[in-house]
Amino acid sequence: MNTGLILMFVALAVCLLIGVPVAFSIGISCMTLLYVNGGPSMDILLQRMVSGAKSFNMLAMPMFIFAGALMVYGSTPRLIKLANMLLRKFPGGLGATAMAACGFFGAVSGSGVASAAAIGKIIGPSMLEEGYPKGLTAGLIAAGGTMACIIPPSIVMVVYAQSASVSVGDMFLGGVAPGLLTIIALIVLNSFFAVRRQKKENKDPHEYTANERMKIILDALLPLLMPVAILGGVFSGLCTATEAAVVAVVYALFLAVFVYRELTLKDFFKVSADAVVSTGVIMLIISVASPFGWLMSTQKVPQMFASWLMSITDSKFLILAFIFLLLMILGMFMETVCIIILTTPILLPIAVSVGLTPLHFGIALLMTLMVGSLTPPLSVNLFTSCRVLGMKVDEAFPDTLYVIGTVTLMAILTFAIPGLAEFLPAVLGG
């Protein structure tokens, strides 16, 4: 490894440790390598930044962010009512409702933090009032929020698809089975604790009439049609993933303004501004990461890392275990989009060399990073749920460890069983 490459990683580490924004940290590290090596010209960084940001597939990301923000107006309470009607008879029915609602909301928002905040504000206080332990409540809501990463349409799936040159549609389909199984596992965990602690909150005194059931289903039907329309449009060939994202925005705007009539002009400008800011931050990181990935390739970093790892062991199990632990540790300290952009050029070739497909590795990567988003010190989703519930993060322990353990187990299963990620794309993606 040459001096320029070493100084590049040192500059990146130092910038991140002292709190320099990620996009600027990556850019500074790239400039360090070019300066020490004496070329090529710094102009190449700008050229690579532009080429990295102008991808047609990346247009889907701001559209999904905007659509998710619009769906908050009118859709969330109706999705929660549907989940409550379906799951209230389960032991710990309120917690099961929260998990299902997070899955529903994740499928229309694509943002884990937004899901945890929206569902936490509505269901979280009720769970605490019914006697749920604080740690379990915060952990379940935080884990439910992470489902937005793996249940389509997902913003981070679009980012990985761009980084790994994988079909966005295949990524969407690949996340369905692991996402649903994780939700079921969390519902089972919640039910276990409900039975163990003999909670009776699921015994809803209200019995729904047939008319009430039909009304709840019809109210929730329109929001639930969004992910169906997106996936159906992509795999029927009617539109690309990017075009489907635009359709999602139009559909979400129609529901918020004309059907539910909850979106005012003032709210529209606020939602638009928030979506633009979120998109700008992510796109800046993605554009700066393009020259970073190019330099990794020209300096043969993936090959060097792979050779080093293979020199330690040739066991597929140990290599995948190393990748899993590395990703989980990074997820504890860094934001998901940043990890995907920084590690994909390095780890994907190694994963492919031991038999994983780019699709399988992508879904397993996202499942592993979900664990990191629940684990301190960063634990973005856990911090969000605790803030919404008005509690400190240390109050969430030790009960939330059971939730983290459940999500970790599902991430390991996704790594170990390729069919979880590849079955639906093979059957429906063609």
pLDDT, tens digit (0-9, with 9 covering 90-100), for 360-387: 999 999 999 888 778 776 666 787 788 7
**What is d(CA 430, CA 422) in angstroms, rounded to the nearest whole number?**
11
Res 202: pLDDT: 47
**What is d(CA 110, CA 383) in angstroms, rounded to the nearest whole number?**
18
User: Phi and psi of 316, rounded to 5°?
Assistant: -60, -40
Q: List the structure tokens of 31.
A: 């400039």
Pick from 144, 16, 29, 11: nearest CA to 76: 144
**For residue 402, pLDDT beyond 70:** yes
Pick from 220, 120, 226: nearest CA to 172: 226
User: Phi and psi of 40, rounded to 5°?
Assistant: -70, -175
Res 365: pLDDT: 92
Omega before residue 178 within 30° of 0, cis: no
CA distances from 153 to 133, 176, 250 (A): 32, 10, 15
Check if the beta carbon of residue 302 is closer than 8 Å to that of residue 296: yes
CA torsion through residues 87, 104, 332, 120, sign = negative
pLDDT 10s digits, 52-89: 667 666 677 677 778 777 877 877 677 777 777 777 67
pTM of the predicted protein model: 0.72
**What is d(CA 340, CA 111) in angstroms, rounded to the nearest whole number?**
16
**What is d(CA 102, CA 100) in angstroms, rounded to the nearest whole number?**
5
Res 154: pLDDT: 78
The angle, 0 to 180 degrees and rounded to 10, between the axes of the packed helices 3-17 and 22-37 is 160
pLDDT 10s digits, 134-172: 888 888 888 887 887 888 777 788 888 888 888 888 888
**What is d(CA 38, CA 34) in angstroms, rounded to the nearest whole number?**
6
CA distances from 123 to 130, 140, 389 (A): 11, 11, 10
**What is d(CA 395, CA 93) in angstroms, rounded to the nearest whole number?**
23
